[in-house]
Chains A and B, each alone.
Chain A
Amino acid sequence: MGSLFDGYYSVAYDEMFAANGAPHPHTKALFDALQLLSGSDLEERVAVIDRSMRDQGITFSRAGQEWIFPLDLVPRLIPTVEWTLIEAGVIQRVRALEAFLADIYGPRTVLADGIVPHSLVSSSTAFHRAAAGLEPANGVRIHIAGIDLVRDAEGVLRVLEDNLRVPSGISYVVENRRTMARVFPGLFLEQRVQPVAGHVALFLAALRAAAPAGVEDPTVVLLTPGVYNSAYFEHAFLGRKMGIELVEGRDLFCRDNVLYMRTTSGERRVHVLYRRVDDDYLDPVHFRSESVVGCPGVLNAARAGNVTIANAVGNGVADDKLTYTYVPALIEYYLGEQPLLPNVPTYRLDDPDVMHDCLGRLDELVLKPVNGSGGYGLLIGPAATEEELAATRAEVLANPRGWIAQEVIMLSTSPSLDGDRLAARHVDLRPFAINDGSQIRVLPGGLTRVALREGSLVVNSSQGGGSKDTWVLTSSPARKGEPSVVRPLPAPTVKAKAPDLGPRSDQPQQQQQGQGSC
């Protein structure tokens, strides 16, 4: 029987193996454990994962159908020292972007000082004049951010994009860990992995901290567009885990610029609205008047200081892909610091010279629509057909402000299951940052997305990607009083070099699950 790694080959920087073919020091223990498994062991565990995901209904919708968001069973490991950099870099970025938003919707000094052009803001479809002058209760506009990172061929982590509107994925982080603890209980024994189960509680604490001044026990609700939304699983998950009401637009109303929800026991005031509805649909008084998934009057209720909208309305102007090109300058302008995490080399096409340069080598670049998300409309030059190149060229010529061009980043790879073998598949990483007004915290872990198709560089769930459990390793022992990650029951039979036999029946799984506070 061959090893799972037979024939393993990466064209990029690999998250598990160094260039000489040996595992990185921090992945050695995982590599050793995987070495002892066979393809059939893995198949069995895949079956457990599938069943588990299906049972829990961990799905998203794509093209009108429900899909399981596939969890790849090989975790992605991040060593302590690297996590320290990611943490500091993400915090720095969020601080600068918070400052930018407060400025753009307030005094606009960044425009007066010529750091970014007025037209960057006024031509952004995500800049909402209706949010001008609106000051959030504790000064926070980015209650939660998802900062997408990729690693290039040299091993450098770079920011690919910022997500400051309604970033999704935190539910998968928590659920992936739970599933992995069931499927690979033994793996956690040999590693010190930072827990993720507390993420949701931290987020709830940040939402509560954003309540209008003087409210001691705020009511927080989650506004969902409804069961047909692609991320409905996450909405239901977060509502349940945070113990807050999951509401739809018709459950809410404003009176005298105060927000209420209708309950069976009468109306109840809402202090913090965690909305998973896009700006354009949130308030028909200011945005699309035909929207039925929002709540009329809620923006003015926020303006009156009676409710806090999380994330704030108009954040999109700061995660616009054109604004992205200015983020390093914003970090320097607001913080007086150099960016800890560099951008991917990016070109603005509104400069005619740059545009012609880029159009001349379109087949070497990635073209992204400025206002797109989820990988829609993306052109990967080297993989595109002549027709696709021509179509994008025409679109760029018609609307240069609508596009940016980036150098192709050969995303790093991580071993992922392909049939009964492990093969190199490209990955990214979305760490989540939570801002409660006094501190920005980066949740240890984050969502590693993996392009499950061989050679694909598109990791979006809406484009056929999957995810991996992301382990931030820690060198310090688990804190006193906290149970170790997963304690085997009964006494450990899994020794350092013995194969991890994994689950055989439901009962021990359930017991381990009961213990597993990871």
Chain B
Amino acid sequence: MTWRIAVRHRTGYHYSSAVRASYNEARMTPTSNRGQQTLESRLDITPAARPLRYLDYWGTAVDAFDVHVAHTELVVTASSVVETAGALDPVQGVGWDTVTTAYVVDHYAELLAPSRYVSFEPEVETAGLALAAEHPPAEAGLAAVAWAHEQLGYERGRTSVHTTSAEARVAGKGVCQDYTHLALAILRALGLPARYVSGYLYPITGSTTSSVGTTTIGESHAWVEFWAGDWVAADPTSLVAVAERHIVVARGRDYADVRPLSGVYHGPPAESLGVKVELTRLR
């Protein structure tokens, strides 16, 4: 089953005095691949700017823009209509002999290595190797995601956007970004190529029926995909199945590759306007 969802994602910055030059990139447009289709998308920028759209190395749509009029607030709103993929067929599990061939190890080298926010630690490696010894790859991957889920308690404010998987593990607390980084750490430690997925999650409420037509407040979300013969998606924050409620925007090694809004500017310290995501199920 697929859903059609309208997404409105608003974010930006507030400055204490006027900023005259700012250079930014927005990764806020949902992708069209692996069963998901983005039917419409637009980006509104205030003050007005003329973005250059391109696909980055990871296949993510990027809008690059600069602002040269004096402003104290920069607001970027991405609106799109997406047909979600729904649950993908279960992967035909392959054995460890396939996953660990020299070809696979080389082909996915960048998704097997530690990265800026994904740390390699002996504790995580030990846990990962134990799972690899007990299960074939696809099951071991799901068990690893469950392991990451158990290590952390969901709590806002304990970690920041720059927290590494190792720091989150020590803190024992975090948000979806931290769950995702820790899951990537153990997946890579046990030898499964794994990538960060950034996007949105249509909130799970008591009743799943007749949510069509209502607008709910969603959030910017993150989960993982790992390779066990094919890509398997899993959500370490809630352990819900990745299906029609998940909207994919970007993929990469970790958060650094998928930042929804990033850039540089000349001016006083910025204050984030926060993120507002409205999701409307159309059908």
Contact = CB atoms under 8 A, between A and B. Distances in A.
Contact of B23 (A132, A133, A296, A303): A296
B109 A304 contact: no
Contacts of A284: 23, 264
Given A254-B66, A256-B66, A132 B56 contact: yes
Contacts of A132: 56-57
A300 interface: yes
Contacts of B239: none
A257 B52 contact: yes
A493 interface: no
Contacts of B110: 118-119, 122-123
B121 interface: no
A401 to B, nearest CB: 10
Interface string A269-311: 0000000000000001100010000001100100110000000
A479 interface: no
B264 A285 contact: yes
A255 B57 contact: no
B139 interface: no
B57 A118 contact: no
Interface residues of A, number: 22
B23 A297 contact: yes
A133 B264 contact: no
B64 interface: yes
B68 interface: yes
A117 B104 CA distance: 11
A117 B264 contact: no
Contacts of A130: 56-57
A303 B49 CA distance: 17
A123 B58 CA distance: 16
Given A123-B113, A254-B66, A257-B66, A118 B264 contact: no
A123 B108 CA distance: 11
Given A256-B50, A300-B52, A285 B23 contact: yes
Contact of B21 (A117, A118, A253, A257): A253
Contact of A289 (B56, B107, B264): B264
A303 B55 CA distance: 11
B56 to A, nearest CB: 7
A255 B106 contact: no
B99 to A, nearest CB: 16
B107 A118 contact: yes
Contacts of A241: none
B109 A122 contact: yes
**Chain A interface helix/strand/loop/mixed:** loop
The range of chain B's interface size is 20 to 34
Given A285-B263, A300-B52, A303-B52, A257 B57 contact: no
A288 to B, nearest CB: 10
Contacts of B264: 284-285, 289, 296
Interface in A118-149: 118-119, 122-123, 129-130, 132-133
A129 B109 contact: no
B278 interface: no
Nearest to A117: B106
Contacts of B257: 129
B106 A257 contact: no
A118 B106 contact: yes
B25 interface: yes
Nearest to B112: A119
B52 to A, nearest CB: 5
Contact of A133 (B57, B106, B263): B57
A409 B64 CA distance: 49
A257 B64 contact: yes
B52 A304 contact: yes
A285 B52 contact: no
A285 B113 CA distance: 24
B66 A255 contact: yes
Contacts of B106: 117-119
A322 to B, nearest CB: 13
Interface of B: 21, 23-25, 49-50, 52, 54-58, 64, 66, 68, 106-110, 113, 257, 262-264
Q: What are the 5 closest A-B residue pairs judged by CB atoms, nearest first?
A: A129-B57, A119-B109, A122-B110, A132-B57, A300-B64
19 contacts: A117-B109, A119-B110, A122-B113, A129-B56, A129-B57, A129-B58, A130-B57, A133-B55, A253-B21, A255-B68, A256-B50, A284-B264, A285-B25, A285-B264, A296-B23, A296-B264, A297-B23, A300-B52, A300-B54
Interface of A: 117-119, 122-123, 129-130, 132-133, 253-257, 284-285, 289, 296-297, 300, 303-304
Given A129-B58, A132-B57, 12 more contacts: A117-B106, A118-B110, A119-B109, A129-B56, A133-B57, A257-B64, A285-B25, A285-B264, A296-B66, A297-B23, A300-B64, A303-B52
